[in-house]
Structure 1
Amino acid sequence: MEEGIVGFTLLPVSAATSMVGMFVFLSLKRWWRFAAHRQVLGLRVPTPGAWTFLSGMCSAAIIGTTTLAYTLEGTSIVFMMLLMRGGVLVLAPIVDVLSRRHVRWPSWVALVLSFAAVLVASGKDARATMTWVAALDVGVYLLSYFIRLRAMSRLAKSQDKSLSIRYFVEEQMVATPFLVLVLGLVAVWGGAGPALDIREGFTGMFARGRLLEEMLVGLLSQGTGIFGGLILLDARENAFSVPVNRASSVLAGVVATLGLSLWLGLPGVGPREMLGAALVMVAMTVLAVPTVLAARRREAALKAALGP
């Protein structure tokens, strides 16, 4: 590519592809039956509840802000990644307390490490590298995650897997269609600025000559939404499931930035950002070790009970 694609221009194709990917995944898994259904013109139609509809709108905002975050000029991928991922890590135990869930000591240790990661990554020049668009993007992202985690804790984080799948299906059937609808309305009725970029995303999808790449962005984005969402719906507290969810994002962001630096000569990962990513990975380890040891103890106890 001789020049990049504006983030708002990238959204229409990527969002539409995410929507198709979501419908294909739910159909292949045959999970539509888990959703609530209503009779519409003699047909049983899957229908979201009030909380899952709200959560789906928040998920749509998360998809859009995540895509934009990695395309904004003046901020690095790793910097935005740490602000967004670290921010959600901070939200996790807060949501647990509000939901009256017990938070174990490893989760509190991971919270402190996450705070440290965000502070280290920000550094003294945070204001110089944080535009108002980037700040607004992060703010909408974190607010959406707060509402989404609260809804999950209230309805779906249970040992009953059918409840988790039902929530997942009802949320996903709202998220990407809502995002595509909003983008379409902005393209038709919006004025200048971002609205023009979004309109270009719809009208110039073939002229840009990067349709397959834009679709791939949407497909991979939906993949992170599927697997990440299922991790968040784990029955354990948010202070556990959220950091597990975030770990792969941190690694992916660092690796992607290094790859772009080596391959295309773009700015690489700075020492502050690398240290911040390292702190997040330490937080992941703190959370993972007790769970792994507990699983091994259960396995050993089972073997002992069964005998030689």
Structure 2
Amino acid sequence: MESAHSHRRDLAIWGYAFGYFACYAPYSALTKALSSGLLPGMAHGIGGFALLPASTLASLVGMFCFLTVKGWWRHASHRTVFGVSVPSPGRWTFMSGLCSAAIIGTTTLAYTFEGTSILFMMLMMRGGVLVLAPIVDAVSKRRVQWPSWVALGLSLGAVAVATGPGTDPRLSLAALIDLGVYLLSYFFRLRAMSRLAKSEDPAVSIRYFVEEQMVATPAIVLTLAALALVGEGRGMLEIREGFTQFFARGRMLEEVCVGLLSQGTGIFGGLILLDHRENAFTVPVNRASSILAGVLASAVLAAWLGQRGVEGRELLGAALVMAAMLGLSVPLVLKARRERKAAASPQPSSSAQG
């Protein structure tokens, strides 16, 4: 019974990976269509900063509903406020939640810098996190299994293929700072997860997940509200427009969908990273799901709205990612088959043993 329970827990990460993929593909495609003004009836696109308020508010509602429906609030630490017990994050989960908020913000900003290739920035961020994974494992004194090394190498190979000839490798100072904050936030988040949440006990991971989620999205909403009140500069004015012109833009349903899908990627992506195995295993699963979703989103936009299709090198990169995911999953499947055969084989009787 314990072996079957362990097997289901080990396979759960692939369900989370599919959920991440299923949310990320329409999220990225719909965001691109809205920001570029590609949907029918749009005279112009909606700026990236202007999209953030509505999408993050929808994410906030989605986070609250998910944790409530799952009944996971009870797993969080609690403290008494005016005689009422309320969920409360710990010091490390609070910091991890702020890092998660920084990751979301820097990811959005990464695609707004002039003179810097969007594809190059995306792959620098994914490749950077792939490099961080074994470093965090080494610092955390976690042993890395050989399939994880193979998958890590294939994933980095996919990044190398996609950043080959034809991409624009220029990085402005602002882009470098953005990339640095992104990677530093991921390092702290992965380190905190390794220290506090990567446990054989699922309740430990759920507690960390809940406490991190209850900080990340509210932190983004409050930050955006503060920037909108300041209203200095193009970016802040766009954020203010996002709050004040939400209904006037006439794309309320699409913007809400972007927020809910974004929260879905946050939920499934976080659950992938919180798997009890080493970061060199979980990070390639997380990154691979997003790369495959990006390829699908590009193909859908090409077929639906006539945008640039998927190039040959991107398909090659996706093939390497698929090979990485197979390399991670096959040992688990073989282990499960061995366990089922062992459970089905007749056990010697106590008399025969005597």
Q: Which residue of 2 aligns with 1:108?
A: 149
Q: Secondary structure at the match of 2:233?
A: coil
In structure 2, relative to structure 1, the CA distance for the partners of 1:303 and 1:137 (3 Å cut) is farther
2:257 maps to 1:222: no
Q: Which residue of 1 aligns with 2:324?
A: 283
In structure 2, relative to structure 1, the CA distance for the partners of 1:138 and 1:144 (3 Å cut) is same
Give the Cα–Cα distance (whole angstroms) in 2 for the partners of residues 86 and 284 of structure 1.
16
Per-residue deviation, 1:254:
0.3
Per-residue deviation, 1:50:
0.8
Give the Cα–Cα distance (whole angstroms) in 2 for the partners of residues 78 and 302 of structure 1.
49
Q: Which residue of 1 aligns with 2:212?
A: 171
Q: Which residue of 1 aligns with 2:242?
A: 201
Q: Which residue of 2 aligns with 1:273?
A: 314
Give the Cα–Cα distance (whole angstroms) in 2 for the partners of residues 76 and 269 of structure 1.
16
Q: Residues 122-154 of structure 1: CA distance to partner in whole angstroms, max 9, x if unpaired?
A: 123443576666555444332222111111000
Q: Residues 99-141 of structure 1: CA distance to partner in whole angstroms, max 9, x if unpaired?
A: 0000011111222222222222112344357666655544433
Stretch deviating more after TM superposition (130-139 or 114-123): 130-139
Stretch deviating more after TM superposition (295-304 or 7-16): 295-304
Q: Which residue of 2 aligns with 1:18?
A: 59
Stretches of structure 1 lacking an aligned partner (at least 5 in a row):
none
Matches of residues 112-123 of structure 1 in structure 2 within 5 Å? 112-123=153-164
Q: Secondary structure at the match of 2:301?
A: helix
Give the Cα–Cα distance (whole angstroms) in 2 for the partners of residues 28 and 303 of structure 1.
37
**1:77 and 1:257 in contact (8 A); partners too:** no
Give the Cα–Cα distance (whole angstroms) in 1 for the partners of residues 111 and 103 of structure 2.
13
> What is the RMSD of the two structures over their aligned residues, measured on CA atoms?
2.2
Per-residue deviation, 1:97:
0.7
2:141 maps to 1:141: no
Q: Secondary structure at the match of 2:247?
A: coil
Q: Residues 1-36 of structure 1: CA distance to partner in whole angstroms, max 9, x if unpaired?
A: 232221111111111110110011111111111111
How many residue pairs were aligned?
Answer: 307
2:278 maps to 1:233: no
Per-residue deviation, 1:58:
1.1
In structure 2, relative to structure 1, the CA distance for the partners of 1:275 and 1:56 (3 Å cut) is same
Give the Cα–Cα distance (whole angstroms) in 1 for the partners of residues 314 and 233 of structure 2.
35
Q: Which residue of 2 aligns with 1:250?
A: 291
Give the Cα–Cα distance (whole angstroms) in 2 for the partners of residues 56 and 2 of structure 1.
37
Per-residue deviation, 1:177:
0.1
2:284 maps to 1:260: no
Q: Residues 51-98 of structure 1: CA distance to partner in whole angstroms, max 9, x if unpaired?
A: 100110111122233345567777777655433333322221111111
Q: Secondary structure at the match of 2:86?
A: strand
Q: Which residue of 2 aligns with 1:184?
A: 225
In structure 2, relative to structure 1, the CA distance for the partners of 1:160 and 1:46 (3 Å cut) is same
**1:9 and 1:200 in contact (8 A); partners too:** yes
Give the Cα–Cα distance (whole angstroms) in 2 for the partners of residues 81 and 285 of structure 1.
23
Identity among equivalent pairs (%): 67
**2:117 and 2:167 in contact (8 A); partners too:** no
Q: Secondary structure at the match of 1:45?
A: strand
Give the Cα–Cα distance (whole angstroms) in 2 for the partners of residues 118 and 156 of structure 1.
29
Give the Cα–Cα distance (whole angstroms) in 2 for the partners of residues 210 and 137 of structure 1.
29
Stretches of structure 2 lacking an aligned partner (at least 5 in a row):
1-41, 349-354
Stretch deviating more after TM superposition (168-177 or 85-94): 85-94
Give the Cα–Cα distance (whole angstroms) in 1 for the partners of residues 78 and 313 of structure 2.
50
**1:78 and 1:254 in contact (8 A); partners too:** no
* Rg larger for: 2
Q: Which residue of 1 aligns with 2:76?
A: 35
**1:86 and 1:117 in contact (8 A); partners too:** no
Q: Which residue of 2 aligns with 1:299?
A: 340
Give the Cα–Cα distance (whole angstroms) in 1 for the partners of residues 96 and 192 of structure 2.
7
Q: Secondary structure at the match of 2:57?
A: helix
